[in-house]
Amino acid sequence: MRKALVLAVLTALLLALMAGPAAAQGADDEGVLIRLGGNAAVPADETLDVVVVVGGDLDFEGTATTVVVVDGRADLIGATIETLVVVDGTANLGADTLVTGDIRLVESDIIRDPSATVEGSIQTGTGDFTRGFWILGVLFMIGWAVMTILAALALAAVAPNFARRTGRTITTDLGRTILAGLFLWIVAPTVGIVLFSSIIGIATALTIWFVVLPAIGLIGFVVAGVRLGEYITGGQEGIGHPYLPALTGSVILLAVGAIPFVGSIVVAVAGFLGSGAVALHALQAARTEPQVPGPPVSAAPAPAPAPVLPAPVPPAPVSDS
């Protein structure tokens, strides 16, 4: 049931973010409200397109196209919305509330005032959410596999020495690889959280979370695949491009990753160790001081050649006569 809940959460958020631009009752949309880990309140004179609250309660009196509340309570008082999704919470339809579309409840309860109106249907359970998620999941797995294989072949073509050297770090320096991985996956997200608290740092935080870390994770997974492929194929060190090890290791890791539960652990460990090796090499490169070339040393002048003396002429013989 918890797995179904997670699927429903992801699908509900996806639907909310993909909501159409038309606001309820023909009003113009004026923005998106997303609150993670806290309560939110929308007054009666405010109109929004999408409202998402995760881990908190929502007091809503305004107008919105889509309202999603996860692990919290949605209190609608005199509100006008088109679609309401509540996951692991409570939907409280207060007096004079109007829902022009449907209400989706996943492991949630509903409290309805007699004056509240729901023009659509009230649906419970995961239903189409789960089926749609599995279709998206299959497509995502296929895309992930193709992207990983292409990334492995690209790394083998562009940086073969880096792929080999970084991959072998996993087995030759496992301790520091683990420490570097912990440093990467603890410090970088923490920096993102700190930056996210300011308006200026939001873009940087989102870049760290959704661009930098996924890219490093993908490279780390590919590096681990190259190391596994070298071990299986017996690739020779420093000779040619490791296309075969990269392809072999990546395919094996992807195949194991398709196994329920166990596969997820294997993929996570491979990505963690590979990214740790990448981070370790980056830290070592940052700590290495570049060698600054000194001034050119002029060559010492060649010694003058020794003077050539003429050979001595023997004296002429003296006759006795």
Residues 215, 281: one domain? yes
Question: How far, in Å, CA of 224 to CA of 152, rounded?
Answer: 10
Q: How many residues does the chain have?
A: 321
Question: Is 0.85 surpassed by the pTM of this model?
Answer: no
Residues 71, 214: one domain? no
Residues 141, 219: one domain? yes
Rg, the chain, Cα only: 34
Q: Which pLDDT score, from 0 to 100, does residue 239 have? A: 67
Residues contacting 170, CB < 8 A, separation 6+ = 177, 223, 224, 227, 273, 274, 276, 277
Residues 102, 237: one domain? no
Residues 154, 282: one domain? yes
Q: Which pLDDT score, from 0 to 100, does residue 133 have? A: 67
Residues 274, 206: one domain? yes
Residues contacting 4, CB < 8 A, separation 6+ = 106, 126, 130
174-176-180-181 Cα dihedral, nearest 10 degrees: 20
Q: Which pLDDT score, from 0 to 100, does residue 123 have? A: 85
Residues 21, 47: one domain? yes
Residues contacting 129, CB < 8 A, separation 6+ = 7, 8, 11, 12, 104, 106
Residues 209, 261: one domain? yes
Q: Which pLDDT score, from 0 to 100, does residue 72 have? A: 92
Residues 170, 106: one domain? no
Q: Which pLDDT score, from 0 to 100, does residue 152 have? A: 93
Residues 101, 224: one domain? no
Q: Which pLDDT score, from 0 to 100, does residue 80 have? A: 93
Domain with 33, as residue range(s), is 2-124
List, in sequence order, the alpha helices (H) in 111-159: 128-158
Domains contained in the chain, number = 2
Question: 312 in a domain, yes or no?
Answer: no
Under-50 pLDDT residues of the chain: 1-29, 321
Residues 141, 106: one domain? no
Determine how β-strand 103-106 pairs with β-strand 122-124.
parallel
Q: Which pLDDT score, from 0 to 100, does residue 195 have? A: 85
Q: Which pLDDT score, from 0 to 100, does residue 198 have? A: 75
Residues 81, 202: one domain? no
Q: Which pLDDT score, from 0 to 100, does residue 240 have? A: 76
